Structures are given as structure tokens and as C-alpha cells.
Amino acid sequence: MHLHLINPNTTAGMTETIRLAGSAIAAPGTRITASQPVSGPVSIEGHFDEAISAVGVVEEVLRMDREAQVDAYVVACFGDPGLLAAREATRAPVIGIAEAAFHMASLISTRFSVVTTLGRTVIIAEHLLDQYGFRHQCRRVRAAEIPVLDLEDDSDCALDKIIEESRRARDEDGIGAIVLGCGGMADLTETISREVGLPVVEGVTAAVKLSEALVGLGLGTCKTGDLAFPRPKAFSGTFQHLSHLDLETTGR
């Protein structure tokens, strides 16, 4: 089984963190690869960044479907940018890490809170909770107020802030689990759980296990209705290379 993890930002160090976390949790026989787009933001911290990164996510799916036999994809940013567009582009399952984390947390607790990076991304996470139907199970989305790249550049300080906010969630929110709200936190689960004393769900590892389950069940993305392959058409300018793609014929 080959799972490919896509870091929607362009920071290679974070891509490697994501790959290592996925590899550590994967079942024997599961091959984990990871990549990031060539172009896009170095971190994703708002709607603007997400809109730009979504194109890179889809292009990575198209590229990997051409170059390799990929059984499932993981979109490793907590905003799940480009998720539905990526599902249109391939028959393979495509899992977003926020969606995966919410599902996993709901299976082990009746209430959970999310600890994310910056306050401005709280609203994005709340939108996703509404979209995926988990708003009633999430007590609160909290921000540790750390820029995403601090997880790479000032990791000790970032970890301390995440643990502090997670303890507040434990003490104030009446929850049974914590969801980490950033792909860059993929390697922090055990440390935070040990320090806080609650189960901690992180989306990259959750998405890897859900992907393995879907592939094992022989389930792929539905190719009728809104997730059918995109209709071939002309694109102009920067996106001219996407013109007249016939993925229904050439896609896996």
C-alpha cells in the first residue's frame, strides 16, 4: 500500500516532519511518501494562504497519479485546503487531516477541544466543524498564538505554549480529548498527552490510519456527481497547462 502525504505549504522541513510522523504510525507494508508544491506560501495561516495552496495540492495529486501508483492521499494542513478539488482529480481516497482528527476524537470522547496555532485560524477550524458535522462535539477551538513556522524554528517555545493551552482546555472545557490543529504538530502527540493527561488526536497520523482502512476495504472516491472527474476545458494564463485534461480517460 502506498500513501502519499501532501504538505500544502512549501516548507520542506515541515514536509519531513509530516512524513516521519506518518511513517512511524503506518502498518508494516505501508509505504509513506510526502511532498509539497513547488509554488505557494511557506505557511498557511488564513483564507488567502489556503486559496493559493489549494492549487498546489491538486497539482501534486495530478503529478503523483501520473508518476506513481498511489493508493490514497493525505492533505496535511488543518484547513484541508483543496480537499474536494483533490477528490475530483483522482479515484484514490483523499483524506484531510482536520476531517480525520474530528472523526477520531469523536470515537474516543463525547466532547473535545481543538488547540491550533493563531487566533485567526480559530474561525477556519470552526467553519470546518460546521461543515463536517462535529460542531456539537467540540467545546472550543483554542489558539496557542504561535506562528506556524515557530513549530520549525522555535519548537521548544511553541511546544510549551501548546501544552499550556491544552492544560487550560482540560481544566476549563469539560472535554475527554484534545485535537491538535496543525500538520506541523504531527510529532508532538505523545509529549502533549503525557503532560496533559488526556488523549491527544493529531490529524496526520489519524489520516494515515483512516487511509489504510479505506484502501483495505477497497473503497475509493466516488466518480459520479460532484466528485466526478472535472470536465475537460480550456484554461488560460498561469493555468494553461491544465487545459483539456481528460482524467476520466487517463486518470487512475
CATH code given to domain 98-203 = 3.40.50.12500
**What's the pLDDT score for residue 249?**
78
- Indicate the pLDDT class of residue 152, thresholds 50, 70 and 90: confident
Q: Counting Cβ atoms within 10 Å, is residue 186 exposed (0-12), middle (13-18) or buried (19+)?
A: buried
Residue whose C-alpha is closest to residue 56's, from 119, 1, 26, 11: 11
Q: CATH 3.30.470.20: does it fit domain 2-96+206-250? A: no
Contacts of 82 (CB under 8 A, 6+ apart): 8, 53, 54, 55, 56, 57, 58, 75
The number of residues in the chain equals: 252
- pLDDT score of 154 more than 80: no
- Indicate the pLDDT class of residue 150, thresholds 50, 70 and 90: confident
Q: Region 26-30: what's the mean pLDDT?
A: 97
Percentage of the chain with pLDDT > 70? Answer: 99
**What's the pLDDT score for residue 28?**
97
Residue 204, C-alpha cell as written in the block: 496526520
**What's the pLDDT score for residue 251?**
64
Q: Which residue is listed with cell 493563531? A: 118
- pLDDT score of 140 more than 90: yes
**What's the pLDDT score for residue 114?**
98
Contacts of 170 (CB under 8 A, 6+ apart): 178, 196, 197, 198
- pLDDT score of 244 more than 90: no
- pLDDT score of 199 more than 80: yes
**What's the pLDDT score for residue 252?**
62
- pLDDT score of 159 more than 90: yes
How far is the C-alpha of 117 from the C-alpha of 98, rounded, in Å?
14
Question: What is the residue extent of each domain of the chain?
Answer: 2-96+206-250, 98-203
- pLDDT score of 135 more than 70: yes
The pLDDT tens digits of the residues spanning 42-62 come to 999 999 999 999 999 999 999
Strand partners, 202: 180
What is the model's pTM? Answer: 0.94
Q: Region 15-37: what's the mean pLDDT?
A: 97
Integer CA distances (angstroms), 209 to 4, 22, 32, 95, 217, in order: 13, 9, 12, 10, 12
**What's the pLDDT score for residue 225?**
96
**What's the pLDDT score for residue 153?**
74
Residue with the larger pLDDT of the pair 246 and 57: 57
Calculate Rg over the CA atoms of the chain.
18
For 118, phi then psi, to 5°, come to -100, 150
How far is the C-alpha of 57 from the C-alpha of 44, rounded, in Å?
13
Specify the amino acid at residue 16: E
Contacts of 197 (CB under 8 A, 6+ apart): 170
Same fold for the pair 2-96+206-250 and 98-203: yes
